[in-house]
């Protein structure tokens, strides 16, 4: 709770009135239908920001009276375990504006059902934690961050809404984004990708490091270039972290060998033969080296290559073949940075380091 003002008015020696104005960090609203606690099924939905690969395909027909008719085509469902199923839908809502105009809007949700609710709040909180990992993996596949903004659920005795304030909204979260065209995994492969990689994600020996790496590699649309490069490099460091004092070149090589990560066609990470490596660029940025305007384009392409490298590393760790992604050599072949990196890295040799 974030307190704004606290005040007390004294009317006489025995009568006073106190008031508190505050903003809730997390707000829970409960409508009670009956006070007797009952067990049984609970149905609900988590409210999400847009995520292209999880969007249902639908045909929308709006009538003059404001009614909306929806026909659903493809709909993504995912079961993180045999007891949990998330169904991704778009829910339509309406409300009246101050001038009595009726507003109709929609939001992406992940619906759920608890067959036997014994402790609803604890059970829904546990579901939200599972959903966070599902959304993180799907956000990586879509190159589009998605967050949960709260939830609602209802039973035979009450209706509960939970609102979160401690969330950073992704850019363009207010838009009803359907397709971005920039996904790592195609829509045709997405369902299989999630089914294959989620168990690998859960079994990884350093899940916290992998979560941070996934979070850092999901692109920010308005990031400062130098900061974005260093942020991405942090993701690489998290993937190859070793408690022993092992040189980065050795750690990186062992990771690529262990997970069969092939990077010969990309800008070298640690090799400086023929121009600056991504590691050298990282060190130059970290130590405040100035890159002039004539090097800005090359630095931008180096940042793209670093992202492609980390995405391939994560795909390898998760056991997904790079050939079935948009960062495969075949899919990158037509992109301009992919064709010019050998010349580009030579242009940085004039920068003092």
Q: Which pLDDT score is estimated for 187? A: 93
pLDDT in tens, 122-145: 899 999 999 999 999 999 999 999
Distance CA 221, CA 271 (A): 29
The pLDDT of 145-165, averaged and rounded, is 87
Contact 146, 48 (CB under 8 A): yes
Comparing 99 with 37, the larger pLDDT belongs to 99
Closest to 344 (Cα-Cα) out of 309, 302, 281: 302
Q: Is the pLDDT of residue 177 over 50?
A: no
Q: What does the mean pLDDT of the chain come to? A: 87
Q: Which pLDDT score is estimated for 87? A: 97
Distance CA 336, CA 334 (A): 6
Q: Which pLDDT score is estimated for 237? A: 95
Q: Which pLDDT score is estimated for 44? A: 94
pLDDT in tens, 209-262: 999 999 999 998 778 899 999 999 999 999 999 878 899 999 999 999 999 999
The pLDDT of 164-174, averaged and rounded, is 72
Q: Give the range among 92-96, 122-126, 258-262, 280-284 with minimum mean pLDDT.
A: 92-96
Highest mean pLDDT pick, 71-80, 219-228, 318-327, 341-350:
318-327
Distance CA 255, CA 270 (A): 13
The pLDDT of 15-36, averaged and rounded, is 72
Q: Is the pLDDT of residue 70 over 80?
A: no
Contact 138, 53 (CB under 8 A): yes
Residue 25 structure tokens: 């960090």
Helix (H, G, I), strand (E, B) or coil at 11: coil
Helix (H) or strand (E) holding 230: helix 225-239
The end-to-end CA distance of the chain, in Å, is: 49
Comparing 226 with 13, the larger pLDDT belongs to 226
Q: Is the pLDDT of residue 1 over 60?
A: no
Q: Give the range among 35-44, 174-183, 215-224 with minimum mean pLDDT.
A: 174-183
Q: Which pLDDT score is estimated for 37? A: 61
- The backbone torsions φ and ψ at residue 7, rounded to the nearest 5 degrees and listed phi first, read -145, 150
Contact 316, 261 (CB under 8 A): yes
Assessment of whether the complete model's pTM goes beyond 0.75? yes
Q: Which pLDDT score is estimated for 279? A: 96
One DSSP character per residue, 55-119 reads: PPPEEEEE-TTS-EEEEE----EEEEETTEEEEEEEEEEEEE-TTS-EEEEEEEEEEEEEEEESS
Q: Is the pLDDT of residue 179 over 60?
A: no
Q: Is the pLDDT of residue 57 over 80?
A: yes
């Amino acid at each position: 709770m974030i307190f704004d003002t606290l005040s007390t008015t004294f009317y006489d020696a025995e009568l006073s009135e106190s008031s508190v104005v505050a903003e809730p960090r997390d707000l829970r609203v409960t409508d009670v239908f009956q006070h007797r606690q009952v067990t049984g099924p609970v149905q609900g939905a988590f409210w999400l920001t847009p995520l292209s690969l999880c969007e249902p395909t639908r045909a929308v027909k709006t009538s003059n009276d404001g009614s909306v008719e929806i026909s659903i085509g493809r709909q993504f469902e995912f079961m993180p375990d045999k007891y949990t199923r998330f169904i991704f839908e778009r829910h339509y809502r309406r409300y009246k504006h101050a001038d009595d105009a009726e507003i109709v809007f929609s939001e992406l949700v992940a619906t759920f059902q608890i067959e036997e609710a014994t402790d609803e709040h604890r059970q829904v909180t546990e579901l939200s934690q599972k959903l966070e990992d599902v959304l993180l993996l799907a956000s990586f596949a879509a190159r589009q961050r998605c967050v949960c903004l709260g939830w609602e659920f209802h039973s035979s005795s009450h209706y509960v809404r939970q609102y979160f304030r401690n969330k950073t909204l992704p850019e363009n979260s207010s838009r009803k984004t359907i397709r971005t065209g920039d996904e790592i995994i195609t829509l045709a492969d997405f369902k299989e990708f999630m089914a294959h990689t989620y168990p690998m994600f859960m079994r990884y020996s350093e899940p916290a490091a992998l979560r941070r790496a996934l979070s850092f590699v999901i692109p920010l649309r308005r990031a400062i270039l130098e900061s974005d490069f260093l942020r991405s490099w942090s993701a690489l460091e998290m993937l190859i972290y070793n408690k022993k004092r092992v040189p980065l070149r050795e750690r990186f090589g062992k990771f690529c060998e262990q997970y069969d990560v092939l990077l010969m066609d990309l800008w070298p990470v640690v090799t400086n033969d023929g121009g600056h490596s991504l590691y050298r660029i990282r060190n130059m940025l970290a130590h405040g080296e100035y890159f002039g305007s004539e090097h800005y384009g090359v630095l931008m392409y180096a940042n793209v290559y670093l992202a492609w490298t980390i995405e391939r590393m994560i795909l390898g760790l998760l056991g997904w073949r790079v050939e079935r992604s948009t960062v495969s050599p075949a899919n990158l072949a037509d992109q301009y940075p992919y064709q010019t990196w050998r010349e580009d890295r030579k242009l940085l040799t004039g920068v003092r380091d």
